Amino acid sequence: MKALRDCDTPILQGLSDAEFAQFGALIRDRTGIRLTPSKRAHMEGKLRKRAAFLGLANVSDYSRMVFDRGGLEAELDALIHLATTNKTDFFREKLHFDLFDKSLLPALLAARPRGLAPRLKVWSAAASNGAEAYTAAMVLAEAAKRGPPFDFAVLGTDVSSEMVAEARRAIYPATMIAPVPEPLRLRYFLQQRSTGNLAQVRVVPELRQRVRFQQLNLIDEKLPIDRDVDVIFLRNVLIYFDPPTQKAVVRRLAKHLRPSGVLILGHTEAAIGNGMGFEQIGTGVFRVA
Ligand SMILES: C[S@@+](CC[C@H](N)C(=O)[O-])C[C@H]1O[C@@H](n2cnc3c(N)ncnc32)[C@H](O)[C@@H]1O
Last residue of a domain, one of 83, 103, 118: 83
Domain boundary residue, one of 33, 49, 83: 83
Q: Does any ligand 1 atom lie closer than 6 A to the CB of residue 85? A: yes
The answer on pLDDT for 5 being more than 90 is: no
Same domain, residue pair 16 and 116: no
- Report the nearest-CA residue for atom 3 of ligand 1: 236
Show the 3-state SS of 7-62: CCCCCCCCCCHHHHHHHHHHHHHHHCCCCCHHHHHHHHHHHHHHHHHCCCCCHHHH
- Residue 13: pLDDT band by 50, 70, 90 thresholds? low
pLDDT over 80 (residue 79): yes
Residue 228 lies in a domain: yes
Residue 242 sits at the vertex; the CA angle it makes with 92 and 63, to the nearest 5 degrees, is 95
Between 96 and 112, name the one with better pLDDT: 96
Q: Is residue 89 one of the residues assigned to a domain?
A: no
Least confident of 4-8, 216-220, 270-274: 4-8
Could you tell me the distance, in angstroms and rounded to a whole number, from the CA of residue 130 to the centre of ligand 1?
A: 10
| Over residues 219-228, mean pLDDT | 97
- What DSSP string runs through 102-151? IIIHHHHHHTSPSSSPPEEEEEETT-TTTHHHHHHHHHHHHHHHHSS--E
User: Nearest 5 degrees, angle CA 173-CA 177-CA 182?
Assistant: 140
Residue 67 placed within a domain: yes
Same domain assignment for residues 78 and 101? no
What's the average model confidence in pLDDT over 226-231?
Answer: 97
- Give the tens place of pLDDT for each residue, 107-159: 999 998 887 789 999 999 999 999 999 999 999 999 999 989 999 999 999 99
Query: Region 72-88: what's the mean pLDDT?
Result: 98
Closest atom of ligand 1 to 216 CA is: 21
Shared domain for 72 and 103, answered yes or no, is: no
Determine if ligand 1 sits within 6 Å of the CB of residue 130: no
Mapping DSSP to helix (H, G, I), strand (E, B) and coil, where does residue 95 land? helix
For ligand 1, is residue 179 a contact (CB within 6 Å)? no
- 117 with 63, same domain: the answer is no
The whole-number average pLDDT for the span 259-288 is: 97
Residues 111, 62, single domain; the answer is no
Is 102 a member of any domain? yes
Claim to verify: residue 278 and residue 151 sit in the same structural domain: yes
pLDDT-derived band at 7 (thresholds 50, 70, 90) equals very low
pLDDT of residue 6: 38
The neighbouring-strand residues paired with 200 are 173
End-to-end CA distance of the chain: give it in Å, rounded.
72
CATH of the domain at 214: 3.40.50.150
Residue 234 alpha carbon, nearest atom of ligand 1: 6
The dihedral built from the CA positions of residue 218, 156, 90 and 146, taken in this order, carries a sign that is: positive
pLDDT at 4 over 90: no
- Considering 83, 112, 143, which residue would you say is the last residue of a domain? 83
Mutate which of 85, 162, 237, 263 for ligand 1 pocket (most atoms within 8 A of beta carbon): 237
- Name the more confident of 198 and 239: 239
Residues 6+ positions from 199 with CB-CB distance below 8 Å: 173, 174, 175
Domain holding 120, by residue range, is 94-287
Domain count, the chain: 2
pLDDT at 12: 52
Query: What is the domain-level CATH number for residue 50?
Result: 1.10.155.10
107-144: b (≥16 Cβ within 10 Å) or e? ebbeeeeeeeebebbbbbbbbbbbbbbbbbbbbbbebb
Would you say residue 22 lies in a domain? yes
pLDDT at 3 over 60: no
Q: Does 205 map to a domain?
A: yes
**Residue 277: pLDDT band by 50, 70, 90 thresholds?**
very high
**For residues 189 and 173, what is the distance between their CA atoms, to the nearest angstrom?**
11
Mean pLDDT, the chain, rounded, equals: 94
Question: What are the Cα distances from residue 200, in Å, to 173, 186, 206, 207, 224?
Answer: 4, 14, 18, 17, 33
pTM for this structure?
0.94
pLDDT score of 289? 83
Verify that 178 and 240 share a domain, yes or no.
yes
The SS3 call for residue 90 is: coil
Q: Are residues 170 and 105 in the same domain?
A: yes
Is residue 254 situated within a structural domain?
A: yes
Q: What is the mean pLDDT of residues 172-189?
A: 97
Together in a domain, 227 and 163: yes
